[in-house]
Amino acid sequence: MLNCKQAAALMSQGMDKELGMRQKMSLQMHLMMCSGCRNFRAQMEFLRQGCQKFSRKESK
């Protein structure tokens, strides 16, 4: 079973490369049970969105 520290690392890694099937499955299992990590995942996506907006915002 993954702990939160490993799950967070995997979620970050997933932003940069496709995770393996096994990694994806253990992450899914963890996320089902862990609201903290679900929030973390949403925040990682928000960061990416923010960065894209930031570099476009500078272009307005």
> What are the residues binding another protein (CB under 8 A)?
3-6, 8-9, 12-13, 15-17, 35-37, 39-40, 42-44, 46-55, 57-60
CA distance 24 to 32: 12
Dihedral (C-alpha) 10, 28, 36, 17: value to the nearest 10 degrees?
30
CB of 2 to another protein, least distance (A): 8
The widest CA-to-CA distance across the chain, in whole angstroms, is 46
CB of 25 to another protein, least distance (A): 19
CB of 46 to another protein, least distance (A): 5
